[in-house]
A and B are shown apart, each in its own frame.
Chain A
Amino acid sequence: MENKQFSSPASFVDSTVVPGDVVLDLSSMTSQTIKLGGGLRQDCDAISAMKAGTLRFSKPNKYWIESSQKRYVPCVEDTILGIVVDSKADNFLIDIKGPAMGFLPVLAFEGGTRRNIPKFEVGTLLYLRVVKANFGMNPELSCTDASGKAAEFGPLKDGYMFETSTGLSRKLLSSPTCPVLEALGKKLSFEIAVGLNGRVWVNAASPDTIVVVANAIMNSESLSGAQQIIMVDHLLKNIQ
């Protein structure tokens, strides 16, 4: 078995790596500062991959491994959908599909004071923002944006929530608009909230629409853009 030798780290960028592949050699880049994202680990002078995925690079100095999982790893400034599991004196405990429960402080709402603490039942679905996500600690969440305004965060009423992989949620939130959402939006009217932790919430006037939208999104994970549009046309033809 040969170790393939490459002269520059750009050779691995945008290609598939498996755990164990050494993707960067720091001894040849002594004067740069490099930021490592998820999936990469430093062993002395070598940066090796811990996950299977595609190595991505963004200028000037960020490397990360992009992969799609069912498990979510909390990151700061992610918008996610969480489900209330318990409420304590200071925090709500929220399940965010990650390794630990998230804490939502009872005051983290617009105009929140001790007198008007919201009462969430167990099982309420909330649209939240991750404020702190430190290693080994429970992530801290919030129902306001960075400046303290509500900005659409908070409980989501009615509708239907389903789970997807993290890769599909990122595709749904990418710009330009994901082809499946655009194709659905041309014919149907619905409301959607996508959490980067792999949860999607759909609401529409009639249950038929909700089911069609949910099925279309779930089917679109492995399809290319053109195939997604064809699939959506097929689904919509069948119900009209």
Chain B
Amino acid sequence: MEVDGEDGRTQNQLRPLACSHNILYRAHGSASWSLRTRTLRKQTGQIDNLLKSYLMRMRPWLNGNKEALEFKFHHVWVWFRYSGLPLEEAYEMILKRTLQSICHLTINPNTTTSIIIQVINDDSALLSCAINAACVALVDAGIPTKHVAVAICCCVAKSGCKMKAFAYLAFPNSVHSVLPERSSSMQGKPIEHGIVTSVTNGIMSADNYFYSLERGRAASVRVVRVSQEELATALN
């Protein structure tokens, strides 16, 4: 999120990111993604937005048709607000569509991949955190994917930090390539200018939306670097 924050960030700064993977023993792949807010002056309770995402084993279909990807969204700490089911179902559906578009689903026919997202702490920007964590967990498990999706939550705020609207945006990561620049683009634009998912809430003008897209793309560079460094340190 990029907002004038009480934690001293300017309008264009990202919250500090942290990512780790392979944290669970039983799951085929797991990742934890957190967006940290520095200590707030008021006592509001939640400090970190920490998400764990873990992949259950891929099960062979024993009988009948099942979905290729199934999701469960768990809030660990739910007493502080009413978490009605529709919100979680909406998140599950968005996650499912996003991840379905990046997985090669035809590689393993007749298997179900279960992805469980566990919310440790919710301090907004939940969906972008969930998408990032789920992507790192997929890569950690070795599930073949086309590219890694990177998600950002972008806020449009009036001056005085009152939020008007926000958008969750997910982009494909930029790729290192041996191809000459021309051929790795789709319809004249580099591949990282595409967009995988966009979910908006509130009222914003079209200009604001496109501005958020630009800021989101710029921010996704940093997010990609965090997850790539994490994966690279494990491989070395």
Q: Which residues of A contact B (CB under 8 A)?
A: 1-6, 8-9, 11-12, 16-25, 39, 41, 45-46, 48, 50-54, 67, 69-71, 99-101, 136
Contact = CB atoms under 8 A, between A and B. Distances in A.
Contact of A11 (B57, B104, B146, B178): B178
A16 B236 contact: yes
A129 to B, nearest CB: 21
A46 to B, nearest CB: 6
Given A1-B221, A18-B139, A19-B147, A52 B235 contact: yes
From B111, B177, B184, B231, residue with most partner A Cβ within 10 Å: B177
Contacts of B142: 51, 67, 69, 71
- The prevalent SS among residues of A at the interface is loop
Contact of A24 (B178, B180, B221): B178
A18 B231 contact: yes
Given A22-B175, A69-B142, A5 B236 contact: no
Interface residues of B, number: 41
17 contacts: A3-B176, A4-B177, A16-B232, A18-B173, A20-B147, A21-B175, A22-B176, A22-B177, A22-B178, A22-B179, A25-B179, A50-B104, A51-B144, A52-B231, A69-B29, A71-B141, A99-B58
Given A16-B231, A23-B178, A50-B144, 9 more contacts: A3-B177, A3-B179, A11-B178, A12-B176, A18-B231, A19-B147, A70-B141, A71-B28, A99-B108
B20 interface: no
A235 to B, nearest CB: 21
A4 B28 CA distance: 32
From B104, B173, B176, B192, residue with most partner A Cβ within 10 Å: B176
Nearest to A53: B235
